């Protein structure tokens, strides 16, 4: 499926188990834009295949791959801010969800604390 994209290769991949993210860099008139495709690898007989369909048991790993990919894109955007003017708007939208400065972990702790507190 990816080979049909003008034989272009992703600039970065994140893989955990059978879940993979491929990061694509597209040059626009305003700078670089990063896009991501997610896939799940599986074996059909002797052949490895990919799908963009995920089951219930894949979702937590998919979230982890997406988080690591997001962090990589943010770091890459900060390396070359002058080449990526759109990264400023992406970063400002992304910061409340996951900034790495503690605010995202606090939000995640708030979300997970009620689940942990219920059995007590």
As given in the structure block, the two tokens for residue 71 are 């962090």
Rounded distance between C-alpha atoms, residue 16 and residue 61, angstroms:
7
Whether residue 96 is predicted with pLDDT greater than 60 in this model: the reply is no
Placement of tokens 């048991």 in the chain: 57
Residues 6+ apart with CB under 8 A from 49: 41, 42, 43
Predicted pLDDT of residue 69: 98
Which of 13-27, 33-47, 89-103 bottoms out in mean pLDDT, i.e. has the lowest?
89-103
Q: What are the residue ranges spanned by the domains of the chain?
A: 2-117
Whether residue 118 is predicted with pLDDT greater than 60 in this model: the reply is no
| Cβ-based neighbour number of residue 93 at 10 Å | 9
Q: What is the mean pLDDT of the chain?
A: 75
Predicted pLDDT of residue 80: 74
Which is more confident, 86 or 68? 68
Is residue 37 within 8 A of residue 3, CB to CB? The reply is no
């Amino acid at each position: 499926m990816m080979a049909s994209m003008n034989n272009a290769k992703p600039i970065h991949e994140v893989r955990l188990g059978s879940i993979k993210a491929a990061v694509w860099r597209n040059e626009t008139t305003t700078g670089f834009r990063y896009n991501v495709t997610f896939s799940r690898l599986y074996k059909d007989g002797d052949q490895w295949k990919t799908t963009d369909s995920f089951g219930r048991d894949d979702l937590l790993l998919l979230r982890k791959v997406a988080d690591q990919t997001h962090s990589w894109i943010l770091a890459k955007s900060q390396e070359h801010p002058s080449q990526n003017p759109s990264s400023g708007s992406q970063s400002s939208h992304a910061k409340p969800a996951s900034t790495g400065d503690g605010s995202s972990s606090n939000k995640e702790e708030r979300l997970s604390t009620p689940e942990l507190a219920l059995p007590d």
